[in-house]
Amino acid sequence: MKKPAKSKMTDQEMQQNINETMTEDFKVKTTDDTQKALAILDQTREVVDAITKDDKEKAIKKLAHLIGELEILMTKNPDVSLIPVNVGYEIRDAVVDIETAEALIAEAKKEFEAGYYQAAKKVLNTLSSEYVIRISFLPLATYPDAMKEAAKFLDEDKKEKALIVLLDALYILAVQEIAIPLPVLRAEEYIKAAAIVVKEKDENYIETAVVLLENAEYQLKLADVMGYGKKDEEYKTLNTAILELKQAVQEKLETNNLFDKLSEKIKKFKERLFFEKVKEN
């Protein structure tokens, strides 16, 4: 597929739009349990601070209170092993066009067929264009035991061992990483931008909207080539919808309904990719 003309949307604007969308779509919902879990992490840090200042009495007192809070949380959530406390984001974007993706795939196949499996793996590891969502959880299954172990060490005047247990609990939280294809996210933003252009009907709006939609189409093709969605049939559905929308824009037909339907389709596709990966993890 030929690479389309570059849209007026800068790479910086695109990334900012994606960040705003993803932050809104996949943020940790603030619940009472989340707030309590965050408070427990803060209290753990306070215990660490008290120990480093050789204030054993304060450390034991705070740790006892912390263990009590954990027991309440566990009683309230008997079937929950993980409580989300934070969401982080990372961009892994090594491939930006179909030509590069196809060249890497061909190279990986060549190495694999020659029996150089590790070399093929190394090449495939560069075949990525992802927005990584990193969710940190307070592990209710193990955190309370760690706090009790730290309390035992403190009671035995084993300050260093107590510190190690507490720091391990703080910095080795349960973490889940979910990668969403950046090309799909970019396609979504191009479609949103095209809808705004058509609505405002500025000078040359048809040409501008068509370029945006062609970029969306290209990004979906890139995601398909890279194997995101396992050659999903939904790519065909989405691209058919884009072609229909492009034609409607060029013929100056009513497009509000078409834009709404396409936006909803790609949003559901994105969410399905996300939640399927959550289940896999």
- Residue by residue, what is the 3-state secondary structure of 39-86? HHHHHHHHHHHHHHCCCHHHHHHHHHHHHHHHHHHHHHCCCCCEEEEE
Q: Which residue has the higher pLDDT, 135 or 278?
A: 135
Q: In the prediction, which pLDDT does 27 show?
A: 66
Residues 158 and 270 in one domain: no
CB atoms within 10 A of CB 90: 11
Rounded average pLDDT over 185-199: 92
Percent of the chain predicted with pLDDT > 90: 44
Burial of 36 (0-12, 13-18, 19+ CB in 10 A): middle
Residue 269, Cα to own-chain centre: how many angstroms? 15
Residue 214 in this model has a pLDDT that exceeds 90: yes
Rounded average pLDDT over 78-104: 86
Query: At which of 172, 196, 225 does a domain end?
Result: 172
Q: Is residue 275 situated within a structural domain?
A: yes
Residue 252 per-residue DSSP state: T
Residues 62 and 148 in one domain: yes
Query: At which of 172, 191, 218 does a domain end?
Result: 172
3-class DSSP state of 3:
coil
3-class DSSP state of 262:
helix
Q: In the prediction, which pLDDT does 63 show?
A: 92
* Rounded Cα distance, 145 and 234, in Å: 46
Give the residue carrying structure tokens 């289940």. Answer: 279
Q: Which two tokens stand for residue 200?
A: 């405002």
Residues 163 and 225 in one domain: no
Instruction: Please report which helix (H) or strand (E) contains residue 93, including its range.
Output: strand 82-93
- pLDDT tier at 206 (50, 70, 90 boundaries)? very high
Q: Which residue has the higher pLDDT, 190 or 86?
A: 190
Residue 194 in this model has a pLDDT that exceeds 90: yes
Residues 65 and 36 in one domain: yes
Residues 57 and 151 in one domain: yes
Rounded average pLDDT over 65-94: 85
Residues 161 and 208 in one domain: no
Residue 215 belongs to what domain range? Answer: 183-280
Q: In the prediction, which pLDDT does 274 show?
A: 64
Residue 278 in this model has a pLDDT that exceeds 50: no
Residues 163 and 259 in one domain: no
Q: Is residue 127 situated within a structural domain?
A: no
Residue 238 in this model has a pLDDT that exceeds 80: yes
Q: In the prediction, which pLDDT does 28 show?
A: 60
Q: Is residue 177 situated within a structural domain?
A: no
Residue 279 in this model has a pLDDT that exceeds 50: no
Q: Is residue 108 situated within a structural domain?
A: no
Q: In the prediction, which pLDDT does 134 show?
A: 85
Residues 160 and 36 in one domain: yes
Residues 267 and 151 in one domain: no
Residues 160 and 276 in one domain: no
Residue 193 in this model has a pLDDT that exceeds 90: yes
Residue 39 in this model has a pLDDT that exceeds 50: yes
Residue 266 in this model has a pLDDT that exceeds 90: no
* Rounded Cα distance, 55 and 49, in Å: 9
Q: Is residue 15 situated within a structural domain?
A: no
Rounded average pLDDT over 28-54: 86
Q: Is residue 122 situated within a structural domain?
A: no
Task: Please calculate the CA angle 41-141-160 and round it to the nearest 5 degrees.
Answer: 55
Residues 66 and 161 in one domain: yes
What is the dihedral angle through the alpha carbons of 75, 77, 78, 82, rounded to the nearest 10 degrees?
A: -120
Query: At which of 132, 153, 172 does a domain end?
Result: 172
* Rounded Cα distance, 46 and 57, in Å: 13
CB atoms within 10 A of CB 171: 7
Residue 45 in this model has a pLDDT that exceeds 90: yes
- Domain count for the chain: 2
Residues 39 and 162 in one domain: yes
- pLDDT tier at 197 (50, 70, 90 boundaries)? very high
Residue 280 in this model has a pLDDT that exceeds 70: no
Q: Is residue 110 situated within a structural domain?
A: no
Q: Mean pLDDT across the chain, nearest whole number?
A: 87
Q: Is residue 274 situated within a structural domain?
A: yes
Q: In the prediction, which pLDDT does 281 show?
A: 44
Residue 200 in this model has a pLDDT that exceeds 80: yes
Q: In the prediction, which pLDDT does 231 show?
A: 56
Q: In the prediction, which pLDDT does 37 show?
A: 87
